[in-house]
Structure 1
Amino acid sequence: MKSVNVGMIGYKFMGKAHSHAYKDLPMFFPAAPRPVMKALCGRDEAGVSKAAVQFGWESYETDYRKLLERDDIDLVDINAPSNAHKDIVLAAAKAGKHIFCEKPLALTLADSREMLEAVEQAGVTHMVGFNYRFAPAVRLAKKLVEEGRLGRIHHFRAWFLQDWIVDPDFPLVWRLQKEIAGSGSHGDLGAHLIDLAHYLVGDMEEVIGMSETFVRERPAADSMTGLSAKGSKDAPKAPVTVDDATLFLARFKNGALGSFEATRFAPGHRCTNSFEINGSQGSVKFDFERMNELMVYFTDDAPDVQGFRRVLATDAAHAYMDAWWPAGHTIGYEHTFIHEVLELMTALGEKRQPVPDFRDGVKCQQVLEAVDVSIEQRQWIRVEDR
């Protein structure tokens, strides 16, 4: 397979990130099948037609069903709001299209399982969008764990902190409405932490959590895009139906302990997506705001030089970096999507499932739901029981 014709549904924050990845992939990774940006889809014709020109798509559609009927589309990229994922995935699988769907996979665990069953029965390639796996420094952390250089893993602690809705007059965007988003910080930010935990440490056995909605009503939004919105503080208010912050504890199947915190109410934290892993022979620390760095500590260093060292993961020795710039020349957020699309295109060319796929999406949804149940019942919940 030399090229893959792509149809994408959604053109806001994630649509721009995915479009950028499709455009840049052939320049830096020419050996991979080339994504051809055939059609962009969105309900607002004025918005989607403008975005199609700006992002470099050949055409546009205003109905995803028409997109799925096109014979010139091989892969469907879904980055519309979460409540649209299920219907589009089921229709795309029925149409025999390969599927790349943003996280969280669905609003509920039951829906995500139905989606997984649909793509498996259709025999199509499927991938879920957990882009943070694809930072070279995260890949280095994975390598150190897999090679046993950190020893037996004892702790995984992770936190994803943002502050974009601290103002109580910030408008009621779709991410704050359960019927559209599914959940708040838990499903939006916590999902990334859960996936990183699965990727780096392993499956979880049981969880217990707590959550809070600090601002329970907000004024209606006039317009919104990404994490920005406009509206009047004097506009009629409507209820916020998702969590503003969720924290939970976990016990992993391998005996490690985990702690997780996701909040949009941490002033000064724009996108502090961080984790720390402690093992019997060492530790690593990662913060996405310094995404090219991994802090590494080994217990067998000489006593007079022991301490965390900063490893700049930009040399060719690190994942993906031989395709980019000279050592020390850093990469950014958008590169995680390029690496993600590289995995997707390579998998299509090799006729295998990419990683992470819908199974990983379901596994993440399983933990999300177990945490929700634990909050409702105020007790530990076994993940496998969901």
Structure 2
Amino acid sequence: MAGTADNETRGAEGAVPALGIGMVGYAFMGAAHSQAWRTVGRVFDLPVRPVLAAIGGRDAAAVRDAAAQHGWAAAETDWRDLIARDDVQLVDVCTPGDSHAEIAIAALEAGKHVLCEKPLANSVAEAEAMVAAAERAAGRGQVAMVGFNYRRLPAAAYARRLVAEGRLGTIRHVRVTYLQDWLVDPDFPLTWRLKREYAGSGALGDLGAHAVDLAQYLAGEPLVGVSALTETFVRERPLLAGVSSGLSGSGGGSERGPVTVDDAALFTGRLASGALANFEATRMASGRKNALRLEINGERGSLAFDLERLNELFFHDHTEPASTAGFRRILVTEPDHPYLEAWWPPGHALGYEHTFTHQARDLVLAVAEGTTPEPTFADGLQVQRVLAAVEESAEKNSVYTPVPA
């Protein structure tokens, strides 16, 4: 098992090797990943024990506070120092997208396993370099995974199982919407997520990446073509008094700066089989907080999922008589549903944070067993290529000249 820590803990079953985790970034995703690393070894029976060795961030006081709050043994202000630590065997990258490639490639070249938040990078070229580094590292026994956590929803994983079993037959349509409203206020400040140099894109990369990955994962096939529109509704926002890496706060005064990413993206697509898909990603849908909704229609049936009802999957079996057929609600909390064997009795719901725990479980098992975890960096590159194609299409479709009456 490549890169497993030498230190061990001894329990009733004998010695369990430790796997030292080093995480770069401590804001929203850092908190979610910290919760997962603290929890996963206490819920699932794992062959190695994740240890929260060190957390990294540029603000010394803030990263020390994060370490204390989330249970990390040490804090580093330079990610290079974190990677160099002997007690870190797996590096978890939770930074803005502009640093994903540099940190992940350096960690792989240093012999570490890597988990990188989505989207994989800010450009196709960066993502390609990350895939090449991951392929080289695989030859040394290292693993690399991109963090599309919604694959780890029990309902989503069960939906994938039903599609793979042929319960929907030939897929005809996939439709996904991902709606949020945290940018509706024009006076919301200009955070890093609204700057292309840090975020790469706006709603497209933040939300659309999830939509694309989930659609391809559930359908079991890639998108091969898109046609798109994007829009930035609020083109200037108040500047922050200081540097922000979060999703909240207030402007630092009357000075405003340019928003350089999209607020919303609409695009249609075609899957490799010829099935049609349509997507909507926006952070300007007033009243919608985290509304990821997906439906797949096939010749034999359909599936529908709503993240705001994340323990439920709706399934229609079109082979049943019309007099009794229709969408039925499946409560995905049974022990034979994905990931549920380790949690609560049937009917006791799970939440958003559990997706990260399941992600950590799958990655730890891959490290221990020497298998390839999914989604791979290559899967992340595929999503990156779709996002780039959406931007290219939107640019071509951006000019509309009405025909005179």
Q: What is the TM-score with the length of structure 2 in the denominator?
A: 0.91
Number of residue equivalences: 378
Give yes or no for contact 1:28–1:323 (8 Å, CA) kept in 2: yes
**Which position in structure 2 is the counterpart of 1:205?**
224
What residue is the counterpart of 2:124 in the other structure?
109
For 1:231, which of 237, 241, 251 is the aligned residue? 251
Cα displacement (A) at 1:32: 4.2
* Residue 27 of structure 1, aligned match among 42, 59, 69: 42
Whole-Å Cα distance in 2 between the matches of residues 143 and 121 of structure 1? 31
Counterparts of 2:53 and 2:148, CA distance in 1: 24
- The amino acid of 1:292's aligned partner reads N
8 A Cα contact 2:124 2:381, kept in partner: yes
Counterpart Cα distance in 2 of 1:295 and 1:363: 28
1:167 has 2:182 as partner = no
Following superposition, the deviation at residue 225 of structure 1 comes to 5.2
1:242 correspondence with 2:257 = no
Shift of 1:244: 0.1
User: Which residue in the other structure is 1:80 paired with?
Assistant: 95
Partner SS for 1:228: coil
Q: Equivalent of 1:151, from 140, 149, 169?
A: 169
- Partner residue of 1:136? 154
Letter in 1 for 2:386: V
| Contact 1:17/1:337 (<8 A) preserved | yes
Confirm or deny: 8 A CA contact 2:100 2:121 kept in the other structure: yes
Cα deviation, residue 240, structure 1? 0.2
Q: Is residue 36 of structure 1 aligned with residue 54 of structure 2?
A: no
Moved more, 296-305 or 32-41: 296-305
Cα distance per residue 1:138-157 (max 9 Å; x no partner): 01111111011111100000
Residue type matched to 2:201 in 1?
Answer: S
User: Deviation string for 1:149-206 (max 9, x for gaps)?
Assistant: 1111000000100000100000001100000000000011000011112111111121
- Code of the residue aligned with 2:350 in structure 1: it is I
Report the alpha carbon displacement of residue 117 of structure 1 after superposing the two structures with TM. 0.6
Residue in 2 aligned with 1:183? 201
Identify the residue that residue 288 of structure 2 maps to in structure 1: 269
1:32, 1:342 within 8 Å by CA — same for their partners in 2? no
Question: Mean alpha-carbon deviation: is it higher for 32-41 or for 272-281?
Answer: 32-41
For residue 229 of structure 1, report the CA deviation from its aligned partner: 2.0
Is this contact kept in 2: 1:26–1:32, CA < 8 A? no
Which amino acid counterpart does residue 341 of structure 1 have in structure 2?
A: A
Structure 2, unaligned runs of 5 or more: 2-16, 399-405
Matched to 2:144, the amino acid is H
- Please give the alpha-carbon distance, in whole angstroms, between the structure 2 residues aligned to 1:122 and 1:325: 38
Q: Secondary structure, in 3 states, of the residue corresponding to 1:356?
A: coil
Q: Give SS of 1:229's match.
A: coil
Q: Say whether the 8 Å CA contact 2:203–2:264 is kept in structure 1.
A: yes
Provide, for residues 42-78 of structure 1, a one-character-per-residue CA deviation record: whole Å limited to 9, x for no partner.
0000000000010000011000111111111100000
Unaligned runs of 5+ in 1: 380-386
TM-score with structure 1 setting the length: 0.96
Q: Give 1:83 shift.
A: 0.6
- SS of the aligned residue for 2:54 comes to strand
The alignment's C-alpha RMSD in Å is 1.3
Percent identical: 50
Q: How has the CA–CA distance of structure 1 residues 325 and 222 changed in structure 2, closer, same or farther, with 3 Å as cutoff? A: farther
Q: Whole-Å Cα distance in 1 between the matches of residues 388 and 273 of structure 2?
A: 21
Q: Which contiguous aligned blocks of 4+ residues in structure 1 show a shift greater than 6 angstroms?
A: none
Q: Give the corresponding residue for 1:60.
A: 75
Give 3-state SS (helix, strand or coil) of 1:209's partner: strand
- Name which of 367, 373, 382 aligns with 2:386: 367
Distance 1:309-1:226 versus aligned 2 partners, 3 A rule: farther
Match of 1:47 in 2: 62
**Aligned to 2:335, which of 310, 313, 316?**
316
CA contact (8 A) 1:136 1:313 kept: yes
Q: Distance in 2 between matches of 1:243 and 1:77?
A: 27
Give the one of 281, 305, 315 matched to 2:324: 305
